[in-house]
Amino acid sequence: MTTVTILSGGAAQGLVRGLSEDFKTQTGCGIDGEFGAVGVMADKLRAGTPTDLMILTQALLAKLAEEKLVAPSSIADVGRVETALAVRSRDPRVTAKTEADLREVLRSADAIYVPDIKASTAGQHVAKVLDRLGIAYEVASRLKIFPNGATAMRELAASTAARPIGCTQATEIIATEGIALSGALPPGCELVTMYTAGVTAGAAHPKEAAALIALLTGADHKELCQRVGFAS
């Protein structure tokens, strides 16, 4: 069986999994790949990892197209993903309608679970927000940093801390058992990221990769996109 290989930001993992059976039915092809921090995925492509399809932030995929690693004509928007707060399912939900609210929420947490603050979209944003709120130094010892949002959320679910909280992209929160989407970040601290897909310049299966993009962006699956945390 032909297998389309992808490198993707962790935000798209739930969507790709949700469409894998439809893709197999339509094309007879399987999907294999890796999900993680977008910067790490881009560097894997640059290093020569065999890949048919990339799903990354709009800006990063455009950069790979400039580097002639992705076919510009193949690029299509998948959808927007919000960065949000997460708590363990058994814990009370928290809300942060203002920057002051968010500052208090983060100060009161005894563990803050986040993805890579240098290579991941959400992690980079968390670092900026902590600086904006003036509490980066204060909470540094409580930051629990993991390679990607999915890992950070699994660790949050298993946390034995008294008042843990997490912050990553909504799709990764929704996809993790034992975790609840608690709320959006307040105005001034919010982040909504457009994810796009593109066929790589060296794709072994470019037609099949293009078919997967068509499925990811098709109107028939808007309900699934919304359910896993994407907005159009």
pLDDT along the chain (232 residues), means of 10: 94 92 94 93 96 96 97 96 96 95 97 95 95 97 96 97 96 95 94 96 96 90 86 72
| pTM, full prediction | 0.88
* Residue type at 185 in one-letter notation: L
Pair of tokens at residue 48: 């020569």
pLDDT value at residue 66? 97
pLDDT value at residue 222? 81
pLDDT value at residue 232? 65
Alpha-carbon gap, residue 18 to 228, rounded angstroms? 9
Surface-to-core class of residue 108, CB atoms within 10 Å of its CB (0-12 exposed, 13-18 middle, 19+ buried): exposed
pLDDT value at residue 231? 80
pLDDT value at residue 211? 96
pLDDT value at residue 221? 78
Residue 187 phi, psi dihedral angles, 5° rounding? -55, 135
Domains along the sequence of the chain with CATH = 3-80+193-231 (3.40.190.10), 81-184 (3.40.190.10)
- Name residue, tokens 């563990």: 111
8-state DSSP, 158: T
Inter-CA distances, 51 with 86, 163, 178, Å: 32, 41, 32
